[in-house]
Amino acid sequence: MAQAISALALFAHPDDLEFLCAGTLALLADRGAKLHFVTLTSGDLGSTLLPAAKISHVRQKEAERSARMVHATYSCLGEKDLCVFYDRRTLRKVMEIVRRVSPSLVITHPPADYMVDHETTSRLTQTACFGAMARNYRTGARRPARPLRAVPHLYYTEPFGSRDILGKEARSAVFVDIAATLARKERMLACHESQQAWLRAQQRVSDNCGVVRQMAATAGQQSGFQWAEGFRQHLGQGFPQDNLLAAILGDLVREERRMTPGGDELQSPRDR
Ligand SMILES: [Zn+2]
């Protein structure tokens, strides 16, 4: 089945997906999934030294290099840092890329995160997945992609630091064992060389790989794996309710028990 899987990682900025879900994406690539990486912005504010146009160019090259490590395509939707808005113009772009990729599985930021660009990207992605089948929604593209035939499975990563902006723990419900791909995740993150100095200066993050290992260890403790990435699946009305990540990755996925709106317990992969 994995041969036919197309997976879309749709994030606000270059390097977000490497921090949050590159281990899982690498596992999907190893199972034959076609991966597509998309960022809303090119990361034009991510430098204390280079002007916006220059750092944008550098960061897109870094993102392309990372994508190549898992045979993914990379594209940028051309928005600006701190200016990712939920508006008609941006939604059309996000809808067009979702239809063009025609994914079975989409991963994006969680609805609540430390940065509004992330939250807005999450909402745009949710609407694009929900509405991608609606034939009457026109993206205005010169050669528009066809509407989808099914709503894709939508997953949210953890927020950075696994906490919302009020400090409340944001606990994942689906965990993926990334022991086999942690080193590749770190190499993908290392492609974003320009960001090491920036994160040191702007967010006092001195060691990107240390952050990644800490997040993977914390998700591991919550799930019983050594190293893990955590997700929540969007289970709102109209979205698929089965866990496609578990169907593809099998024993590498553990999930907390889930309830249907009617109060019945959904099967976890461990029960099958
Ligand atoms: Zn970001």
- Mean of pLDDT values over 238-262: 86
Gyration radius of the chain over CA positions: 18
pLDDT at residue 263 above 80? no
What's the 253 CA to ligand 1 centre distance in angstroms?
A: 25
Q: Say what the pLDDT of residue 105 is.
A: 98
SS3 86: coil
Asked if 95 and 141 count as a contact pair (C-beta separation under 8 A), the reply is: no
What's the 265 CA to ligand 1 centre distance in angstroms?
A: 35
- Mean of pLDDT values over 236-255: 97
Confidence of residue 272 (pLDDT cuts 50, 70, 90): very low
Confidence of residue 2 (pLDDT cuts 50, 70, 90): very low
Q: Say what the pLDDT of residue 1 is.
A: 47
Confidence of residue 205 (pLDDT cuts 50, 70, 90): low
Q: Which residue has the tokens 């889930």?
A: 258
What's the 16 CA to ligand 1 centre distance in angstroms?
A: 5
| Pairing of β 258-259 and β 253-255 | unpaired
Confidence of residue 159 (pLDDT cuts 50, 70, 90): very high
Q: Say what the pLDDT of residue 195 is.
A: 86
Q: Say what the pLDDT of residue 204 is.
A: 64
pLDDT at residue 264 above 50? yes
Q: Give ion ligand 1 contacts, CB < 5 A.
A: 12-13, 16
What's the 56 CA to ligand 1 centre distance in angstroms?
A: 14
Phi, psi of 2 (to 5 degrees): -60, -20
What's the 175 CA to ligand 1 centre distance in angstroms?
A: 21
What's the 158 CA to ligand 1 centre distance in angstroms?
A: 13
What's the 85 CA to ligand 1 centre distance in angstroms?
A: 14
pLDDT at residue 270 above 60? no
Burial class (CB in 10 A: 0-12, 13-18, 19+), 124: buried
What's the 20 CA to ligand 1 centre distance in angstroms?
A: 10
Averaged pLDDT of the chain: 91
Asked if 70 and 118 count as a contact pair (C-beta separation under 8 A), the reply is: no
pLDDT at residue 241 above 60? yes
Amino acid at 192: H
pLDDT digits (tens, 9 = 90+) for 110-148: 999 999 999 999 999 999 999 999 999 999 999 999 999
What's the 148 CA to ligand 1 centre distance in angstroms?
A: 28
From residue 27, give the alpha-carbon distance in Å to each of 11, 22, 30, 71, 253.
Answer: 19, 9, 5, 12, 11
pLDDT at residue 257 above 80? no
Q: Say what the pLDDT of residue 269 is.
A: 42
SS3 53: helix
What's the 118 CA to ligand 1 centre distance in angstroms?
A: 6
- Mean of pLDDT values over 154-163: 92
pLDDT at residue 176 above 70? yes
What's the 66 CA to ligand 1 centre distance in angstroms?
A: 16
pLDDT at residue 258 above 70? no
SS3 112: coil
Q: Say what the pLDDT of residue 268 is.
A: 47
pLDDT digits (tens, 9 = 90+) for 11-22: 999 999 999 999
Phi, psi of 255 (to 5 degrees): -135, 150
What's the 240 CA to ligand 1 centre distance in angstroms?
A: 27
245-263 core/surface letters (b: 16 or more CB in 10 A; e: else): bbebbeebbbbeebeeeee
Q: Which of 64, 10, 7, 14 is nearest to 30 (CA)?
A: 7
Q: Say what the pLDDT of residue 202 is.
A: 67
What's the 114 CA to ligand 1 centre distance in angstroms?
A: 9
Q: Which of 81, 80, 228, 232 is nearest to 164 (CA)?
A: 232
pLDDT digits (tens, 9 = 90+) for 46-93: 887 889 999 999 999 999 999 999 999 999 999 999 999 999 999 999
